[in-house]
């Protein structure tokens, strides 16, 4: 009975019979359990996607920033910008010290 319907479509309106079972059974779930089932399905999807990215084809193009940083440390270029800033600060401090020293020397020479 591929094309069966309930109530049968070939009956006239008003002569339809009450259906005891649906042709396509639908699950009747309490709304509380429906929400729990939804959360579990979302959790399973997220875990599955994570496994796909970790071990499957999806992770081929992902990069590992921690591994890249470790390799940069091995090459000695990990914190080059930070070193550059520190060198700049040192140079600025040296310039300030020289200027301060010149001012003090100039002051002493005037008072003599």
pLDDT tens digits in sequence order for the chain, 112 residues long? 455 666 666 666 666 667 777 666 667 777 788 889 999 999 999 999 998 888 888 777 778 888 888 888 888 777 766 667 778 888 899 999 988 888 888 777 776 6
Alpha helices in 1-112 (DSSP H): 31-55, 65-75, 80-111
Domain annotation covers residue 102: yes
This prediction has a pTM of 0.39
Task: Supply the pLDDT for residue 1.
Answer: 47
Domain annotation covers residue 106: yes
Task: Supply the pLDDT for residue 31.
Answer: 76
Domain annotation covers residue 37: no
Domain annotation covers residue 58: no
Report the domain count for the chain.
Answer: 1
Domain annotation covers residue 88: yes
User: What's the domain range around 84?
Assistant: 65-112
Domain annotation covers residue 52: no
Domain annotation covers residue 95: yes
Q: At which residue do the structure tokens 């550059």 appear?
A: 84
Task: Supply the pLDDT for residue 83.
Answer: 67
Domain annotation covers residue 51: no
């Amino acid at each position: 009975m591929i094309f069966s319907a309930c109530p049968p479509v070939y009956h006239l309106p008003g002569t339809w019979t009450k259906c005891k079972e649906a042709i396509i059974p639908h699950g009747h779930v309490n709304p509380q359990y429906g929400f729990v089932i939804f959360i579990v399905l979302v959790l399973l999807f997220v875990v599955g996607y994570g496994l796909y990215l970790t071990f499957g084809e999806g992770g081929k193009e992902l990069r590992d920033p921690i591994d890249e940083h470790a390799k940069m440390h091995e090459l000695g270029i990990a914190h080059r910008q930070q070193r550059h800033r520190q060198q700049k600060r040192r140079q600025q401090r040296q310039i300030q010290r020289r200027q301060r020293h010149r001012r003090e020397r100039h002051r002493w020479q005037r008072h003599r």
